[in-house]
């Protein structure tokens, strides 16, 4: 029996309700707000799981809030949709968000009641915004959730107000994401002024490829590209990740940045389907640029959390490259890698946060020998690193294999760029693992805290996810990634659901041979080359000039980063107009 689509609002309402209750109940105990958060996110996860059998079974459901349905093909109200792509991101957000709140209950249990209440409030608002983004079929509501996520992220980044660098990171984030929000708002207004529509399905039917439509697309790409941390819109990301508390960094990198790339994929493949000739020119440049430059910046970092943050820029570039390729295999790999990134990057940031929390150190040059003192964090970090590196049978191997298959013949330049980025990523994370965990350190650490149960559960669940999604790739492809890709590549079907109806896409899962010799050779080659680069870089006394140049471009000035965003926007608009 099909679940009533009217329940689609509940996974958004529950965490918002929890956000309201958390500070109000904080006077009872510092743990009550986080327990309320766990109940709210657990309830949201349960409701989303109710839709899973129908949605992954082939249905795309739409619900107009207030039962304000379309009139003469025009949707006047707000529409929510349940389809495999959005549901996948919503489930990732709810489940991993629950784990992060459980981790917070353990690691941040020393917070005062007032601080715990507001921490839980902000975290739930951010998670509600991401779930809302996943389920929204309305451009204005994408903007609303963008702004809700932004406001919550400002509070979480500057949560420890006594730290000057946290305030500086919050200021940069506010300037750049407010600029991005302005881009999204103006792009939305342009489309509404021209077409009188905000519903994504209605827009898909009415877009004509006019100059206004293309300028709006450039504005939307720049706005959501900022949230995704894509170059050249990424200036806020490294500072925010390094300044925020450990669980918040994991939340930002594992889930929040995905909000931007989810919105871009929806717009590029479902809404602006008529412009598929021009869009790849943008996506297949921004994607490889972010992948290589982000990995190179990660290789040159001494701060562990900044290193992981720049690796997130690189991974977002890989995802955008797959969206730009636009084939069934590429988009299936994109969805698969989106799931994988949420798992392994959340795990890595929790490891980094645990290390910083226990030692008070953030710089790799100060660390060493942690494998003896922190065996659990060591094992989890190595597992996450191996997942990103594409070591079989972990999850990154399968998703990267699909992306490689899609790019190899049709987009050889992008394929080469992704491989180069992969090699540098292996080197960067391998260097971090060596310096932090295995390098000899003569000075001993102060007595380290015993790991609490909530942290153990979070570490174990994320590590198990990295393994599980790697050993059952055929199941993931057939039942999760391929149905999601089918909706993204069926704009008419999605439009029918977005106009408060139903659709039934018929996915044809791409061919995928887990033991294909060429993909095994690519994986082994990238890992071997990455380890050799890591060994060379660790022994090298002087920094390579290309990394020095990239670091100098990142001046730390918010004015420079805003200028990069404006130049990126103008370039995107010029290319789209030239190729239209």
Q: Give the DSSP per-residue string, 304-315.
A: HHHHHHHHHHHH
What average pLDDT does this structure show over 525-533? 93
Could you read off the pLDDT of 192-212 as tens digits, one per residue? Answer: 888 888 888 888 888 877 888
Count of C-beta atoms within a 10 Å radius of residue 163: 12
What does the block give as tokens for 579?
Answer: 């190729």
Percent residues over pLDDT 90 in the chain: 39
Q: Which of 239-243, 245-249, 438-442, 486-490 has the lowest mean pLDDT?
A: 438-442
Instruction: List the chain domain ranges.
Output: 5-579
Interacting residues of 346 by C-beta distance below 8 A, sequence separation 6+:
96, 99, 100, 250, 251, 253, 254, 255, 462
| Ramachandran angles phi, psi of 557, nearest 5° | -85, 125
What average pLDDT does this structure show over 306-335? 92
Helix axes 279-299, 545-553, angle to 10 degrees: 110
8 A C-beta contact, residue 271 and residue 202: no
CA pair distance 410, 496, nearest whole angstrom? 31
Cα 122 off chain centre by:
18
Could you read off the pLDDT of 92-141 as tens digits, one per residue? Answer: 999 999 999 888 877 665 677 777 888 889 999 999 999 999 998 888 88
Identify the sign of the CA torsion 247, 248, 253, 259: positive
Helix, coil or strand: residue 82? strand
pLDDT at 103: 86
What average pLDDT does this structure show over 162-171? 80
CA dist 406 → 323, 326, 330 (Å): 11, 9, 5
**Residue 68 or 344, more confident:** 344
8 A C-beta contact, residue 152 and residue 186: no
Which helix (H) or strand (E) element contains residue 60? strand 60-64
Edge-first strand listing for the sheet containing 79-82: 79-82, 60-64, 502-503
3-state secondary structure 471-505: HCHHHHHHHHHHHHHHHHCCHHHHHHHHCCCEECC
| Ramachandran angles phi, psi of 531, nearest 5° | -65, -40
Please measure the distance between the N-terminal and C-terminal CA atoms of the chain and give it in whole angstroms.
46
């Amino acid at each position: 029996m099909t679940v009533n689509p009217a329940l689609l609002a509940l996974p958004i309402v529950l965490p918002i309700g929890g956000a309201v209750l958390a500070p109000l109940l904080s006077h009872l105990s510092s743990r009550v707000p986080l327990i309320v958060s766990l109940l709210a996110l657990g309830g949201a996860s349960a409701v989303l799981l109710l839709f899973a059998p129908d949605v992954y079974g082939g249905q795309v459901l739409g619900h107009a809030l207030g039962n304000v349905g379309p009139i003469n093909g025009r949707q006047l109200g707000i529409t929510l949709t349940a389809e495999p792509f959005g549901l996948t991101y919503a489930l990732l957000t709810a489940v991993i968000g629950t784990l992060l709140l459980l981790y917070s209950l353990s690691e941040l249990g020393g917070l005062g009641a007032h601080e715990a209440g507001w921490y839980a409030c902000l975290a739930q608002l951010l998670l509600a915004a991401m779930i809302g983004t996943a389920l929204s079929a309305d451009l204005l509501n994408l903007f609303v959730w963008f702004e809700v996520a932004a406001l919550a992220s400002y509070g979480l980044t500057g949560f420890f107000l006594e730290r000057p660098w946290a305030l500086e990171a919050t200021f940069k984030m506010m300037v750049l994401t407010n600029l991005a929000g302005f881009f999204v708002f103006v792009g939305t207004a342009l489309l509404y002024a021209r077409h009188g529509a905000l519903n994504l399905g209605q827009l898909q039917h009415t877009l004509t490829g006019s100059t206004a439509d293309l300028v709006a697309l450039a504005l939307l790409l720049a706005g959501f590209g900022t949230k995704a941390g894509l170059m050249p819109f990424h200036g806020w990301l490294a500072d925010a990740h390094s300044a925020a508390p450990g669980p918040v960094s994991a939340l930002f990198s594992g889930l929040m940045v995905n909000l931007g790339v989810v919105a871009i994929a929806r717009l590029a493949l479902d809404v602006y389907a008529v412009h598929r000739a021009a869009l790849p020119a943008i996506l297949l440049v921004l994607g490889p640029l972010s992948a290589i430059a982000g990995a190179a910046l990660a290789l040159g970092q001494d701060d562990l959390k900044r290193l992981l943050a720049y690796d997130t820029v690189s991974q977002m570039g890989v995802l955008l490259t797959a969206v730009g390729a636009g084939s069934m295999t590429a988009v299936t790999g994109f969805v698969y890698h989106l799931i994988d990134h949420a798992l392994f990057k959340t795990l890595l940031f929790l490891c980094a946060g645990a290390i910083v929390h226990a030692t008070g150190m953030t710089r790799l040059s100060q660390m060493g020998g942690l494998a003896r003192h922190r065996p659990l964090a060591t094992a989890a970090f190595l597992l996450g690193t191996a997942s990103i590196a594409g070591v079989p049978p972990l999850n990154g191997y399968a998703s990267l294999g699909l992306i490689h298959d899609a790019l190899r013949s049709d987009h050889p330049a992008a394929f080469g760029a992704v491989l180069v980025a992969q090699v540098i990523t292996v080197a960067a994370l391998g260097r971090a693992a060596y310096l932090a965990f295995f390098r000899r350190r003569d000075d001993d650490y102060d007595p380290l805290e015993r790991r609490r149960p909530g942290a153990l559960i979070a570490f174990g669940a994320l590590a198990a996810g990295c393994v599980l999604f790697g050993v059952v790739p055929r199941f993931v492809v057939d039942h999760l990634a391929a149905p999601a890709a089918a909706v993204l590549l069926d704009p008419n079907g999605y439009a029918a659901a977005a106009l408060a109806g139903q659709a039934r896409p018929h996915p044809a899962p791409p061919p995928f041979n887990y033991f294909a010799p060429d993909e095994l050779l690519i994986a082994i080659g990238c890992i071997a080359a990455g380890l050799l680069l890591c060994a060379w870089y660790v022994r090298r006394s002087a920094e390579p000039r290309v990394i020095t140049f990239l670091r100098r471009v990142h001046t730390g000035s918010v004015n420079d980063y805003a200028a990069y965003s404006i130049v990126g926007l103008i370039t995107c608009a010029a290319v789209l107009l030239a190729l239209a």
